[in-house]
Chains A and B, each alone.
Chain A
């Protein structure tokens, strides 16, 4: 009895948790939980749908506010690590979180009308999107391989369900199954890599790994190097880098289009954040070993992505293969491995998120009920019937092709610039050739839209309704792409500051 009383009196030693460090994730996840609870407790369905949509939007905005507070703190006092070194609060994390939040906000806006059109309205959709975004945000600040893995699974498991969300369309479920099988396979490979790295270094903390590698000369590097390769395979799956891109075309084609517009940019942003933090950060000393592997991934992605897109007839598949090529451009920035490369990769991820969102948003709207009309032939004469939508899609496609005055141009330019500065002439050359080849793909879609309708009443000629939320999302994306192209310095400076604050964080923590 006395023992128990003593135990009750004794103060429990609780670890200090810096809530600001995980405030954006907490808010997003809290909103998701609130939505699911509301769904379970409320009686009136239509009201719940509206309320869950608004809750999700408010959650994203609140997370944005906390992310901004983090930026102010990091900008003033410098980067720091929190929760026993598990998460890093630095400019890099803030930048990637901003990208993820933009994609989530736009994705939510776009989904509202789509869900109503397809009769799929369910509060769970919003909750899953927020869960997935939570995982992506956590991944951006993960400073421990355990957190990298957990964040990857949080984002992936929610996405598996979202991809298979259309209960009636079997293609959606097939896409979900393929994404699930290949995704969990790649997670297992990544995990095996993490286990080997843990065995090789004795820790899973990225800062401690960097310190260990700096202070120790390994006689047997086999375990560590195998781990590095397997981790690259696992993360390569997530960013859809060739040769690990097989799932991308099927998943992009089959899943509900707003889901693709959300995950296309945001998943890449999160996975590239992890790649940059692990490889360019913790394993900086092993650059000689991992750079050739990333070089090969980049070249393969560029070639496979741009060439395979040429022979597709489905617009969603074309964009899927072009996303493989885009992963290649970001990998060029990763391969360069210095500050300029990381800055370029960050900027590219931001621009790509807006471009790919915009393109898939237009595809969503013109896809019509059933989400089925995505053949190139369905886009013939679209410009005549829907001049604004056609013009927007043209803008997003030209941006992806890298035409000047758009964000895509500056993104490609900064990536090539970083590669040339680092003496990677071949990589830059392959990138430019791939850009030229991809331009054909985008021009094919643009030409189809502006071609006259030749036979019979073209399907595209019938007007489509664009709801207000989707119109707002499209306008924001278009403005963003133009802003990134016309005034690139604002975001480039942001990316540069973010990269420098990452580098400082690595030193300060050590």
Chain B
């Protein structure tokens, strides 16, 4: 397969993720969209790694997976904390701070 095909898939996934972050109002869906962006990056990294024949890309992808898991853990904890206080996990309800 051509490198371009992987890059296109990555770009489409990344774009979908960005769209989700910008339009979704539910915190968990925004989180999932960010995960989609990270998955797109992983596709790019692995594709570039295979293309250039170095393992660095795949090693990097493993690091990204690990970090993404840690990030989701912390993110969901914060969402849970907010849900306990506000009984909502909708981003529109979280608007005490502004000015």
For residue A314, CB closer than 8 A to chain B, the reply is yes
Task: Give the Cβ gap from A220 to chain B, nearest Cβ, in Å.
Answer: 12
B70 x A157 contact (CB < 8 A): yes
A175 x B74 contact (CB < 8 A): no
Per a CB cutoff under 8 Å, which of A146, A173, A181, A253 touches B63?
A146
B93's nearest neighbour on chain A, judged by CB, is A174
Task: Give the Cβ gap from A95 to chain B, nearest Cβ, in Å.
Answer: 27
A173 x B30 contact (CB < 8 A): no
Task: Give the Cβ gap from B76 to chain A, nearest Cβ, in Å.
Answer: 10
Q: Provided the pairs A198-B45, A198-B57, A204-B60 are in contact, do residues A253 and B97 lie with their beta carbons within 8 angstroms?
A: yes
For residue A284, CB closer than 8 A to chain B, the reply is no
- Secondary structure at the A interface, as helix, strand, loop or mixed, is helix
Which residues 22-42 of B sit at the A interface, judged by CB distance below 8 A?
27, 30-31, 34, 37-38, 40-41
- Secondary structure at the B interface, as helix, strand, loop or mixed, is helix
For residue A153, CB closer than 8 A to chain B, the reply is yes
For residue A184, CB closer than 8 A to chain B, the reply is yes
Which residues 186-223 of A sit at the B interface, judged by CB distance below 8 A?
187-189, 191-192, 194-196, 198-199, 202-204
Question: Complex Cα distance A250/B70, Å?
Answer: 24
For residue B8, CB closer than 8 A to chain A, the reply is no
Contacts of B37 in A (CB 8 A): 185, 188-189, 191-192
- The count of chain B contact residues (Cβ–Cβ below 8 Å) is 45
For residue A357, CB closer than 8 A to chain B, the reply is no
Per a CB cutoff under 8 Å, which of A176, A180, A250 touches B98?
A250
Question: Complex Cα distance A171/B85, Å?
Answer: 10
A196's nearest neighbour on chain B, judged by CB, is B44
Q: Return the 9 tightest CB-CB contacts between A and B, nearest first.
A: A188-B37, A199-B48, A195-B44, A250-B97, A202-B52, A191-B41, A153-B67, A170-B85, A173-B82
10 contacts between A and B (CB under 8 A): A149-B63, A157-B71, A170-B85, A191-B64, A195-B44, A195-B60, A202-B54, A204-B60, A253-B97, A254-B96
